[in-house]
Structure 1
Amino acid sequence: MQRSTDPIEGIETVKILPGEFYVTRANERIETVLGSCISACVRDPIAGVGGMNHFMLPVDRKLSQNPTELSDANRYGNYAMENLVNALLAIGAKRNRLEFKLFGGGRIMGAMNNIGWYNIGFAFDYVYTEGFNLVSQDIGDIYPRKVLYYPADGRVRVRRLNAMHNRTLAEQENNYIHRIESKPIEGDVELF
């Protein structure tokens, strides 16, 4: 993950990419750029911890019997959500206090226009099935998004990117899909 200090806000910033997640108890900003991908911004406001994930596909249907590498598993929503929640619980969050904010799922890829829709369906199903509190969302439509998340206070800033950025982001997502489809999934997750 890339780290930098924002020159205007003076805040430490962590940039996550598809298949990654990050949790913190520090006053940091987490950011990512989404097309058809989804990011969940999750925090426990009492414990003062929060984090964000970024996943490309909803569920891996060919679950590995001996997963070992988390980054491979996190490309799928079912792993990305569980790993984010488990990491937050490990640093002091309480499950019943977690607040979810969902972003992304834009339809930016012509030939693969349903991926964002499937991601959105998975994300809502996960949040509601697990009984979590969804406090806000900016999902769907045709826009890619840049998401800036401040876990310390729960603030999120979303910038919808114009069509000029769509082609580049769509190409990156398409390349990413082809890479992950050809690579076996590995990872460890505790489902509860």
Structure 2
Amino acid sequence: MQKSVDPAEGITTYKILPGEFYVTKENERIETVLGSCISACVRDPVTGVGGMNHFMLPMDKNAAGASELSDANRYGNYAMENLVNALLNLGARRERLEFKLFGGGRIMSSKTNIGWYNIGFAFDYIYTEGFKIVSQDIGDVYPRKILYYPTTGRVRVRRLNAMHNQTLAAEESRYINNIGSKPVEGDVELF
């Protein structure tokens, strides 16, 4: 995660990468760039506590039993649980959480549409858990840059042109190839 101050807005900005998430109750901005990945921007509108995750693949298919909902946010099942738990730990209330979904573009030329699977997972998770989606910008064929202001819930989406696809697709391919070699570890508390 990279921290900086945006000179135009004078706001502290956290840039997250695949497998990361950030939550805050401060007036900060969280940003990321998505191709086939998904980011959920989630907040409690009463407390202003909010956060964003960034995941590449829907689920860790090698996980078994209780360890299935643990560790690292490189998989959607971990990323969503860890984000929600971190928000609750900062004072958010589960029944008030609002979700905004972004990403899932088809930017890789392979036969597998990872973005589509990510979108399906995200919707399934949100509806199964009883949360509500208040907005979305998902699918299609272009990458996106997401700028999220958790305390207000404001999101700015910049659709990037096709020349970014090749670079982002190469980064995502490297990430997918490396993801399986790293062990999944850690704990998630389910509510």
Shorter-chain-normalised TM-score: which range? over 0.9
- Aligned counterpart, 1:62: 62
Q: What's the RMSD between the two structures over aligned residues?
A: 1.4
Aligned to 2:21: 21
User: Separation in 2 of the partners of 1:113 and 1:151?
Assistant: 33
**Residues in 2 aligned to 1:105 and 1:181: alpha-carbon distance in whole angstroms:** 20
What's the CA shift for 1:64?
6.0
Q: Secondary structure at the match of 1:100?
A: strand
State the alpha-carbon separation in 1 of the partners of residues 162 and 26 from structure 2: 35
Identity %: 78
The 5-angstrom pairing of residues 137-156 of structure 1 reads: 137-156=136-155
User: How far apart, in 1, do the equivalents of 2:111 and 2:177 lie?
Assistant: 12
Deviation at 1:65, TM superposition (A): 7.0
- Which residue identity is paired with 2:140? D
* Structure 1 counterpart SS, 2:142: coil
Q: Give the match for residue 8 of structure 1.
A: 8
Q: Give, in angstroms, the shift of residue 185 of structure 1.
A: 1.6
User: What's the TM-score, normalizing by structure 1?
Assistant: 0.94
Q: Following superposition of structure 1 onto structure 2, how do residues 26-45 of structure 1 map, counting pairs within 5 Å?
A: 26-45=26-45
- Does structure 2 conserve the Cα–Cα contact (< 8 Å) formed by 1:66 and 1:186? no
Which 5+ residue runs of structure 2 have no aligned equivalent? none
| TM-score, normalised relative to structure 2 | 0.95
Give distance in 2, aligned partners of 1:90 and 1:73: 18
Letter of the aligned partner of 1:143 in structure 2?
Y
SS of the aligned residue for 2:180 comes to helix
Secondary structure, counterpart of 2:119 in structure 1? helix
Aligned length: 189
Q: For residues 81-116 of structure 1, give each alpha carbon's deviation from its aligned partner in whole angstroms, at most 9, with x where no partner exists.
A: 000000000000000000000000000001154100
**Partner of 1:119 in structure 2?**
118
Aligned to 1:167, what secondary structure does the other structure show?
Answer: helix
| SS at 2:155 equivalent | strand
For 1:178, give the aligned amino acid: N
Q: Which runs of 4+ in 1 moved over 2 A?
A: 64-67
Paired residue type of 1:33: V
- Farther off after superposition, 4-13 or 107-116: 107-116
Query: Which blocks of at least 5 consecutive residues in structure 1 are unaligned?
Result: none
